Chains A and B, each alone.
Chain A
Amino acid sequence: KNEVEQSPQNLTAQEGEFITINCSYSVGISALHWLQQHPGGGIVSLFMLSSGKKKHGRLIATINIQEKHSSLHITASHPRDSAVYICAGGGGETSGSRLTFGEGTQLTVNP
């Protein structure tokens, strides 16, 4: 079992739909990153969370450190949101600064 698990692995949505991607982790962490990777490889950091909720445009990320769970929401999805979304956690007692990554969620938004 991976230390960081994402669901779903693949997600297809229609333009305008509300999307949720989940990230659960089995080890203690102090911070969690949400990343976006487009075809071609470039990775962009969306959020870094240690508690609560953050919002940037149509993107919202939440985290509950005690329940070891984070979610990434996309409101009013658009085809340009199509990408792989990856969560990564770190800062636990055993991992220290090492980041452990989820397998990624492939999102496709159709017009």
Chain B
Amino acid sequence: KAGVTQTPRYLIKTRGQQVTLSCSPISGHRSVSWYQQTPGQGLQFLFEYFSETQRNKGNFPGRFSGRQFSNSRSEMNVSTLELGDSALYLCASSLIVLPGGELFFGEGSRLTVL
């Protein structure tokens, strides 16, 4: 059974650009959640999607957005990148909605903003 796949694994952008990250969940999992991890702030919840609907969003500016497709694959987008957006972005999939259900994490997309 394939795990959670995130692409790209590494990327470098400059301030002001935008970025789109992709997450393919485990087959059959309909919940996909996104997280930002930085050395200063640790892990922070970005948003959760279930059946193409955003169920909850963390305390992030509107530059951070996401969506989920009918096949449960999810994308997140960050517009007008800032230096502080440099982080490891992780997604996780689950059979059921948060906070219940075992989480299966992808390996993450490491974003560097110059």
Contacts and interface: CB of A to CB of B under 8 A. Distances in A.
Interface of A: 29-33, 35, 41-45, 48, 50, 86, 88-91, 96-104
Interface in B1-54: 33, 35, 37, 42-45, 48
Interface residues of B, number: 27
B43 A91 contact: no
Identify whether the interface residues of B are mostly helix, strand, loop, or mixed. strand
Interface of B: 33, 35, 37, 42-45, 48, 55-58, 88, 90, 92, 97-105, 107-108, 110
Nearest to B58: A98
Contacts of A100: 45
A35 B99 CA distance: 13
Nearest to B31: A97
